[in-house]
Amino acid sequence: MRIGYYPGCSLLGSSREFDESTRAVAEAIGLELVTVPDWNCCGASSAHVLDHQLSLALPARILALAEAAGLTELLAPCAACYNRLCSARTELEADPAAREAISRIIELPYQGRVKVVNILEVLDRCQDRLKAKATAPLGRKVACYYGCLLVRPPRVVAFDRPEDPMSMDRLMVLAGAEPLAWNHKTECCGAAFSVTRTDLVARMSGRIVAGAAKAGAEAIVVACPMCHSNLDMRRPECNALLQADHQLPVLFITQALGLAMGLDPVRLGLQRHMVPALLQPAAAGAKA
């Protein structure tokens, strides 16, 4: 089984552990990841704020390169990249004139034949293989946090329901964990305001951390590097605003699944987190 792979900029840098754990899990279940050759940044939150055409061109170049490489599907683990790729693809699908215009801008033929999928979709497809390999059930209570871009806008991403989604929760059941029902699954963490309005991130991410803790979670599971960064790297700011000391770790879904498959925590990048996350499966008896 093979699939096109678009890591995106954060997976090479500040969320390197997401890339590491995705590759580790993929290898364990026999999924070959074919990276798009010479891929560029998708534009993330910044391109669409500055220029609409640019926000279409950058993802279009990626999809055109993927198509030229003979790929039919592209996995983008980063929720922001996934959302930008889907948005661009949806907008260009509706308008042949726009496709022509964008092909001229990116100097590559854009046909729109490559489908874009997110990490939860791909993992869901590989359920049986995951189940077979999940030999070390996590046995922990977790709060699955989806954030905004994986589930909205529903017509563009169209894969799980926009309110109270359950795809990540089902994967955590596979991993032998107990996903909790809680109220902040899809509330925004503060997104790109991490640097420019850290005060807002502290409030918004703080609310999410506090909500997860209140529901009894021992960890928060995410599938977006930006959410991870806001909930993990910005934890001191959150705790300061909340006047609390929440230490529950934030794991990427692939890290949680990797642990349940008995993979080495270091290989999954768990030592890279700001909030200590070297969580042992409960069955082992040791705590984080």
Q: What is the DSSP string of 62-121?
A: HHHHHHHTT-SEEE--SHHHHHHHHHHHHHHHT-HHHHHHHHHHHTS------EEE-HHH
CB 137 within 8 A of CB 262: no
Considering only residues 1, 35, 52, 128, which one is a binding residue for another protein as defined by CB under 8 A? 52
Q: Does residue 72 bind another protein (CB under 8 A)?
A: no
Region of 102-110, 112-120, 123-131, 245-253 interacting with another protein (CB under 8 A): 102-110
Q: Does residue 12 bind another protein (CB under 8 A)?
A: yes
d(CA 142, CA 172): 8
Smallest CA-to-CA distance from 273 within 199, 210, 220 is with 220
* Tokens matching residue 89: 């693809």
* Tokens matching residue 135: 């030999």
d(CA 77, CA 75): 6
Considering only residues 4, 5, 6, 15, which one is a binding residue for another protein as defined by CB under 8 A? 15
Shortest reach from residue 4's CB to another protein, in Å = 17
Shortest reach from residue 288's CB to another protein, in Å = 17
SS3 assignment, position 1:
coil
Q: Measure CA of the first residue to CA of the last residue in the chain; give whole Å.
A: 35
CB 231 within 8 A of CB 144: no
Considering only residues 48, 115, 141, 170, which one is a binding residue for another protein as defined by CB under 8 A? 48
Q: Does residue 73 bind another protein (CB under 8 A)?
A: no
Q: Does residue 41 bind another protein (CB under 8 A)?
A: yes
Smallest CA-to-CA distance from 225 within 264, 265, 273, 259 is with 273
Shortest reach from residue 255's CB to another protein, in Å = 14
Q: Does residue 191 bind another protein (CB under 8 A)?
A: yes
Q: Does residue 97 bind another protein (CB under 8 A)?
A: no
Return the ∠ at Cα 20 (arms to 19 and 25), rounded to 5°.
Answer: 100
Shortest reach from residue 229's CB to another protein, in Å = 9
Binding mask 261-280 for another protein (x = CB under 8 A): ----------xxxx------
Considering only residues 109, 161, 247, 283, which one is a binding residue for another protein as defined by CB under 8 A? 161
* Closer by beta carbon to another protein, 34 or else 105: 105
* Closer by beta carbon to another protein, 103 or else 134: 103
Do the bridges between strand 219-222 and strand 141-144 make them parallel or antiparallel, or are there none, so unpaired? parallel
Q: Does residue 47 bind another protein (CB under 8 A)?
A: yes
* Closer by beta carbon to another protein, 107 or else 285: 107
CB 237 within 8 A of CB 201: yes
Q: Which residues bind to another protein, rule: CB under 8 A?
A: 9-10, 12-16, 38-41, 43-54, 57-58, 61, 105-107, 148-149, 152-154, 161-164, 183, 186-188, 190-193, 195-197, 200, 204, 233, 271-274
